[in-house]
Chains A and B, each alone.
Chain A
Amino acid sequence: MRNSMKLALLALIAAGCCAIYLFHDLNGSFDYALPRRIVKVIAMVITGFTIAYATVVFQTITHNKILTPSIMGLDSLYLLLQTLMIFFLGSDHLMAVNKQINFLISVAVMIVFSLLLYRFLFKKAGQQIYFLLLVGIIVGTFFSSISTFFQVLIDPNEFQIVQDRMFASFNNINSDLVWLSAGIVVVVTIFAWRYVKYLDVLSLGRETAINLGVPYDAVVKQMLMIVAVFISISTALVGPITFFGLIVANLSYQFFKTYKHRTLISGAVVMSIIALVGGQWVVERVFSFSTTLSVIINFVGGVYFIYLLLKARNA
């Protein structure tokens, strides 16, 4: 029962963060500032939810607690897409300017890419998941290299716009997209929740999971699809931020010390909402926008990652 207490406490803190973000320094601007802040908070909640969910699921499937789904190369694909778009069409083209179109195309390309990758890899039964990760790393590096190549050739002014998209940002979010993403995420989550019970068993390893009647290959495939959809949505919405998932997933493991994925996922989701909303508030009010949240996340995440590696070496 102690874990449910912890979870309730975290949820309370998360709600508090949201409330502070929404109402602090509002100065009675209910018509102008509040709707804009609400959109931002929802965007952060969606991002926190998708990243945390996708990372915990991904780490359970791969039996590895220091991997993030970015290893499948979706972030690099997104950056490549943005770079190519601006390089060939220019920053004033409809596709680069219109956020809705850009969002839909990015999500579609990333999901189609993952589908192709899985189709190609799972065609032969019994393929190891590590093979998928390996191909993901190689393809991801390939995408990054091409992006870098075009970024070197691009007009310096246009490069500014590309660079802008290389970091996740919550400062410029389109409200229509937030509602659209929220809709997709809710539908996918309802579909995905049926599989959560299998995750506990999957963490016992492939053989034990099959022994206990989990249709292993089918479940892993579905899970990877859900991860791809979630990562695509959050990346297209705010930019590449998957590194963040590593922090919250591991914090959740350490904090809850359980194998139950209902708790682990909920914990990671709530923690990421606290980090994003609270962090964004600090960025806006304390640093007055002189830095971005993703820079802080990458810094803190990097330190934590090194700590995890050192700890694993000592263990």
Chain B
Amino acid sequence: MIQVVSLSKFYGKKAVVEDVSVTIQPGKITSFIGPNGAGKSTLLSMVSRLLDADTGEVLIDKADARKMKSNEFAKKVSILKQSNYMNVRLTIRELVSFGRFPYSKGRLTDEDEQIVDQSLEYMHLTELQERYLDELSGGQRQRAFIAMVIAQDTDYILLDEPLNNLDMKHSVQIMKILRRLVDELGKTVVIVLHDINFASVYSDWIVAMKDGRVVKNGPTEEIIQSEALKEIYDMDIPIQKMDGCRICVYFNS
């Protein structure tokens, strides 16, 4: 369980994230939604220690994240950011092998190799594993990075807008994989999403942020309601039920 306790981040005097307390339910997909600049990515960066919080604390399985060793933390929580600029040329397999770094420090054991194989298999990348990352399409690249995170084998997987710049087919593919990670492997996935329909269809729990604060926090059915969305986005969003999915029709509201 990840517990966020009154976390704040200030740039100068402006609070980007202000006194946020959230508990992430284990074994579920939790989506963070909200308008641009609501502080979703900043919050995720602080939870995953990419950014130091100004006040508050993060508890991972009841242990203070700041007191954990970097290496131990990396075996529990992984984070994937939206931009993955790299200075080196790697094949998919080399990248995924880096996911084992917290365990093997770069000297892969047979067990590590096996886990790398499984991760590649899981993301349908086995055929492509010797290809270089700069030769891949956006969707394949994103899958390669997710395969690395799977190889890292953490209980908690945090993703910052993993659907950015992906087309519909690849977005659905990625979301289905995340769903499988939760349902089959029992992982806990936390994800920042812009498309509320993906949040509605795939997540179990939704946390909505606005102006650096949490405004809504509850199961998906409670948040995907016209009144709740009005509060979050200041828009009148009608909701249609289709095949058991709740779809927000926001295009002409």
Which residues from chain A sit less than 8 Å from chain B, CB to CB?
60, 63, 65, 125-126, 197, 200-201, 203-208, 210-216, 257, 259
Contact = CB atoms under 8 A, between A and B. Distances in A.
Identify which of B69, B75, B101 gathers the most chain A CB atoms within 10 Å of its CB: B101
Interface in B71-98: 71-75, 78-81, 84-90, 94, 98
B50 A204 contact: no
A211 B105 CA distance: 13
5 contacts: A203-B86, A210-B49, A210-B50, A213-B74, A213-B75
A213 B81 contact: no
B106 interface: yes
A58 B72 CA distance: 27
Contacts of A201: 98, 101, 106
A213 B88 contact: no
B88 A203 contact: yes
Given A126-B52, A207-B81, A212 B102 contact: yes
A212 B99 contact: yes
Give the 8 A-B CB pairs with smallest separation, nearest first.
A213-B74, A213-B71, A213-B102, A259-B88, A215-B70, A212-B101, A197-B106, A203-B88
B50 A203 contact: no
Contact of B89 (A205, A215, A257): A257
A55 to B, nearest CB: 15
B220 interface: no
A18 to B, nearest CB: 31
Given A197-B105, A212-B74, A125 B52 contact: yes
Contacts of A204: 86-88, 98
A212 B52 contact: no
Contacts of A206: 50
Contacts of B70: 210, 213-216
A216 B172 CA distance: 34
Identify which of A203, A211, A212, A259 gathers the most chain B CB atoms within 10 Å of its CB: A211
B173 to A, nearest CB: 22
A211 B78 contact: yes
B89 A211 contact: no
Given A200-B106, A203-B87, A203-B88, A212 B81 contact: no
B89 A259 contact: yes
Contacts of A197: 105-106
Contacts of A215: 69-70
Contacts of B101: 201, 212-214
Interface residues of B, number: 31
Nearest to B149: A211
A197 B70 CA distance: 15
Contact of B85 (A65, A205, A213, A257): A205
A126 B11 CA distance: 13
Nearest to A260: B106
Identify which of A201, A203, A210, A214 gathers the most chain B CB atoms within 10 Å of its CB: A210
A212 B98 contact: yes
A259 B94 contact: yes
B152 interface: yes
A156 B85 CA distance: 53
Given A210-B50, A213-B102, A259 B74 contact: no
A74 B48 CA distance: 36
A88 to B, nearest CB: 45
Contacts of B71: 213
Contacts of B69: 215
A139 B12 CA distance: 28
Nearest to B49: A210
A125 B69 CA distance: 18
B68 to A, nearest CB: 10
Nearest to A59: B87
B120 to A, nearest CB: 18
A205 B82 CA distance: 13
Contact of A207 (B50, B87, B105): B50
B55 to A, nearest CB: 14
A63 B152 CA distance: 24
Contacts of A208: 84, 86, 98
Nearest to A212: B101
Identify which of A197, A213, A216, A257 gathers the most chain B CB atoms within 10 Å of its CB: A213
A62 B114 CA distance: 34
A208 B102 CA distance: 12
A259 B91 CA distance: 11
Nearest to B95: A204
A126 B89 CA distance: 27
Contact of A211 (B51, B72, B74, B88): B74
Given A201-B101, A205-B84, A207-B50, 11 more contacts: A63-B87, A65-B87, A126-B51, A126-B52, A200-B106, A203-B87, A208-B86, A211-B78, A211-B79, A212-B98, A259-B89
